[in-house]
Amino acid sequence: MNGREVAFAGIFVALTAVGAWISIPLGPVPVTFQVMMVILSGLILGSRLGFMSQFLYVLAGAVGFPVFSGFSGGMAHIFGPTGGYLVAFPLAAFVTGYFSERGGFDFVKSLFGSLVGLGVIYILGWLWLSFYLGGAFKTAFEVGVLPFIGLDVLKILIAVVVAKRVKEYGFFWSTFV
């Protein structure tokens, strides 16, 4: 990684932290803007840097930096009810970036990749929450996935539109050239 790539990854670590700090409690899993930032990191940075930015975000939170919701951090979050969602972030950014890199930015392809990335977050988060709740898969789905689908799809649509504008106008990249 060169210095420019480190800077881009660092920007999305910070943006994901800000997205986490905007939090609305809703049972064991709060509504945040993390998902939108994870998807944006994949769309704008691509698979490799998107993965790296989200890996660094989760790592920063795991070692105690207050980057998770509620201005908190620590390993308790990784092993707590939302740990599966957090661990899924790098993978979701990678998947989203993979689709957005193929043949230039295409709205439909990027939207599809973003939805697949969201699916990665939901599946890993749901399975971990089920484990945390003692194998209650139905309950975990009802509290950890179902209430978020509509809002997350809206956040993904916004992320794809923003990424399209960023890629069209290049204002994000030109700042660092």
Rounded to a whole number of angstroms, the distance between the first and last alpha carbons of the chain is 16
Neighbours of 135 (CB within 10 A): 9
Q: Work out the average pLDDT over 37-50.
A: 96
In terms of pTM, does the model score above 0.75? yes
Distance (Å, whole) CA 135 – CA 90:
25
CATH number of 3-174: 1.10.1760.20
For residues 126 and 5, is the Cβ–Cβ distance under 8 A?
A: no
- Taking Cα atoms as reference points, which of 106, 113, 144, 123 lies closest to residue 30? 144
pLDDT 10s digits, 55-76: 999 999 999 999 998 889 999 9
Tens-digit pLDDT profile for residues 134-175: 999 999 999 999 999 999 999 999 999 999 998 888 755 544
Half-sphere exposure of 59 (CA within 13 A, CB side): 10
